[in-house]
Chains A and B, each alone.
Chain A
Amino acid sequence: MTVLTLKSQLQAPLEAGVIVPDRFAGNSVAAVAGMPVTYGNEAACLGDFFKVAGAGSTEIVLEGDLGRVKNIAAGMTRGKITVHGDAGMHLGSEMRGGVINVYGNVGDWAGSEMKGGKIHIHGNAGHGLGGAYRGSRRGMNRGMIIVEGNAGNEAGAVMRRGLIVVAGNAGDFAGAFMIAGTLMVFGKLGIRAGAGLLRGTLVTFNQPELLPTFCYDCSYSPSFLKLILRDLRLQGLSISEEYITGCYRRYSGDFNRLGKGEILVYDQR
């Protein structure tokens, strides 16, 4: 296990895409400390900012307020990263495998364009969770993100595959232009959820304000949802039994696009 402890509060953004198990594995403490990072506009070494304990391994623990540290675990393919504190932007972006646990809040674009693996955020997430970078044609494409707090705007935008679960509220345009995949929000949804939905499923437990291009189909109890919800219980989320056994109203849309997407709203009755 490699433990990195932030030495002092950062003033400028630190781009630390080197903090990935793939790069750490098999390296000595000195080699890890010497890995290149960019602090503001200056090239620097990881060791200038972090105290490194333990030789490089596929299990990394980060400690301190890392709110200004960007690109942690970007592109990781294996191993485990645990952050005790906040993490900055682009956490786990484009990751392909492995597990990230954050006991704090994360910045914008966490898990954007990820292609596998799992991110569990115990605090809040910023905007663009599991989303796509500007100009990209697709966002998250496989993998799983769990946020126990709230998420910002555009969660799961242009998502292609995978599962995003937000236990708290989500901001505006959740699942906008989603191609496929599943986005589940237990709290309140912001406005214009599912705008431009091509396919894919948005599950919510409070009636959202729907766009004029969605229409009501039926009320039913989808079995795939039971499986997902049971699995989420195993992941440590508390899911009430009514959600598993209850009925959901299905709205299909967005008819300005393919119209094969669905918004499932838990039926309180």
Chain B
Amino acid sequence: MQVDHVVCAFCGCVCDDISVTVEGDRITKAKNACVLGKSWFLSHGTPSDLPVARIEGKPVSLDRGIEEAARCLANARYPLIYGLSSTSCEAQRKAVALAEVLGGCIDCCTSVCHGPSGMALQGVGEPTCTLGEVKNRADLIIYWGSNPAESHPRHMARYAVTPKGMFVPDGRKGRTVVLIDVRRTPSARAADIFLQIKPGKDFEVLWALQALANGQKPDEISIENTGLTYEQLTGLADRMMHCKFGVIFVGQGLTQTRGKHFNTSAVFLLVRALNRHVKFALIPMRGHGNVTGIDNVLAWQTGYPFGVNFSLGYPRFNPGEYTVVDLLSRGEADAALVVAADPISSLPGKAARRLAEIPLVSLDTHDSETTRSARIAFTTSTAGIHAEGTVYRMDNIPIHLRKVMDSSYPSDEEVLDRLLAGVKELKAC
């Protein structure tokens, strides 16, 4: 059976033109999807033999698992809910409700990827646009600290570089593509101009570009050690100030290197300065399928996009205080619920070690380092394959997920809903 117009929820591109072939109980083909999307569909569309719930590695019934997990979280003094980037907004909502009832902290993968972009947004405002506008209008595309060819394989072909748009009728020929990074990545092949800057010098380059956009002359000697020549810099600034519609795609090369939110603030301020000359915008290259969704859900429910604490009963936000790495490495969190993420293999050593020590409840579609260290592990179905739901694309556009096939596992939303009920009962609220 072939199902058309299926949405791939693997990366922030959220391509909604996939044709999936289902044969029996598995997915055998995913037409139009890139390598990453294809492997996502094929692996999640294959029946799994994992038990629905495990306690200390031993299979138990879902009810027993929920009971134990609810007790474990309700007893905690400073519980942490983390992950949520690869699940539907409906499940994310339940997780926020759970954090509130628990009086805990809720943080998402944003805090270790584009959290600094959120902080910059709050500090200086975000001049942004949608990918549709990029496709139809942008004639200057700049990827900064991101490698779309490997991280978002269809980004260039579907939205930013090759498609023909309303005001860019020539498609690829009508656009100039610039890649700025600290090393030559496979994306460089698709770019017209590749500028290699020295590691840790992004802020200086952005700051100098902003000066040029403001009509100032930056100090030549301070530019020397950025890896770019003065001519390269003025050439780039000139190109930026003379395009029709420019876009900067901000990658983790900026947000997760020294300077973090100041780096992103510098891009935001640069784009603001450029808008005095031409139309310019920026879009953060969000990685996981629905990491933009959790920012939106959290912001709409609590007012803040990540790193939210409920210990006083109302939401408070403070990156550095309520964010996952800090909470764990300071040894404050005493129980954790991880949804659709694998922090034990991705967080820095000290934080990961703490997470492995404390009572851990995990929800995931497959086995990972985190589910293996969890005291209670639930196996759930995949939103976008086994369940409907909503995800947000990297430009904050909500897209509805289709269900392609049935699954014997409950969805994240269902498990979180039952956990919420269990915790409410224990906390008598």
Contact = CB atoms under 8 A, between A and B. Distances in A.
Contact of A134 (B78, B123, B210, B258): B123
A211 B78 contact: no
Chain A to chain B: the 3 pairs with minimum beta-carbon distance, closest first: A41-B103, A40-B77, A212-B218
A135 B334 contact: no
B334 A12 contact: yes
A85 interface: no
Interface string B91-124: 0000000000011100000000000000100110
Interface string B207-248: 110110010101110110000000000000000000000000
A213 B203 contact: no
Contact of B77 (A41, A135, A173, A215): A41
Contacts of B40: none
Nearest to B317: A134
Given A134-B318, A213-B219, A256 B77 contact: no
A192 B321 contact: no
B256 to A, nearest CB: 15
Nearest to B261: A134
Contacts of A210: 219, 222
B218 A213 contact: yes
Between B102, B208, B216, B220, the greatest number of chain A beta carbons within 10 A of the residue's beta carbon is seen for B216
B319 interface: yes
A255 B215 CA distance: 10
Contacts of B123: 134-135
B311 A128 contact: no
Contacts of A135: 122-123
Given A192-B259, A213-B216, A11 B334 contact: yes
Interface string A185-199: 000000110010000
B180 to A, nearest CB: 17
Given A195-B207, A212-B222, A38 B312 contact: yes
Interface string B133-144: 000000000000
The winner among A41, A127, A191, A211 for most chain B CB atoms within 10 A is A41
B259 A212 contact: no
Given A212-B218, A212-B222, A213-B207, A128 B320 contact: yes
B309 to A, nearest CB: 9
Contacts of A13: 78, 311, 332
A214 interface: yes
B419 interface: no
Contacts of A15: 311-312
B33 interface: no
10 contacts: A39-B77, A42-B103, A68-B332, A134-B119, A134-B319, A135-B122, A209-B222, A212-B211, A212-B218, A255-B211
A89 B321 contact: yes
Contacts of A38: 311-312
Interface of B: 76-79, 102-104, 119, 122-123, 200, 203-204, 207-208, 210-211, 214, 216, 218-220, 222-223, 258-259, 262, 269, 273, 310-312, 317-321, 332, 334
A41 B78 contact: yes
Q: Which of A13, A176, A210 has the most CB of B within 10 A?
A: A13
Contact of B262 (A192, A212, A214, A255): A192
Contact of A212 (B76, B204, B311): B204
A65 interface: no
A133 interface: yes
A211 B77 contact: no
Interface of A: 11-13, 15, 38-42, 68, 89, 108-109, 127-128, 133-135, 172-173, 176, 191-192, 195, 209-215, 255-256
A211 B207 contact: yes
Most B C-beta atoms less than 10 A away, residue of A128, A134, A173, A215: A134
Contacts of B259: 172-173, 191-192
A68 B207 CA distance: 38
A69 to B, nearest CB: 13
B221 to A, nearest CB: 8
Contacts of A133: 318
Contacts of B78: 12-13, 40-41
A41 B333 CA distance: 11
Nearest to B303: A135
A192 B203 contact: yes
Contacts of B312: 15, 38
Nearest to A158: B123
B223 A212 contact: yes
Contact of B204 (A11, A68, A211, A215): A211
Contacts of B204: 192, 211-212
Nearest to A210: B222
Nearest to B214: A256
Contacts of B223: 212
Given A41-B103, A211-B207, A256 B216 contact: yes
Given A135-B122, A195-B207, A212-B220, 17 more contacts: A15-B311, A38-B312, A40-B77, A41-B79, A41-B102, A41-B103, A42-B77, A108-B320, A128-B320, A173-B262, A191-B200, A209-B222, A210-B222, A211-B222, A213-B219, A255-B214, A256-B207
A256 B318 contact: no
B317 A212 contact: no
Contact of B219 (A109, A134, A214): A214
A66 to B, nearest CB: 14
A11 B335 CA distance: 12
A255 B212 CA distance: 10
Most buried by B among A191, A214, A215, A256: A256
> Looking at B211, B262, B312, which has the most chain A CB atoms within 10 Å of its CB?
B262
A234 to B, nearest CB: 35
A41 B222 contact: no
Contacts of B320: 108, 127-128
Contacts of A176: 262
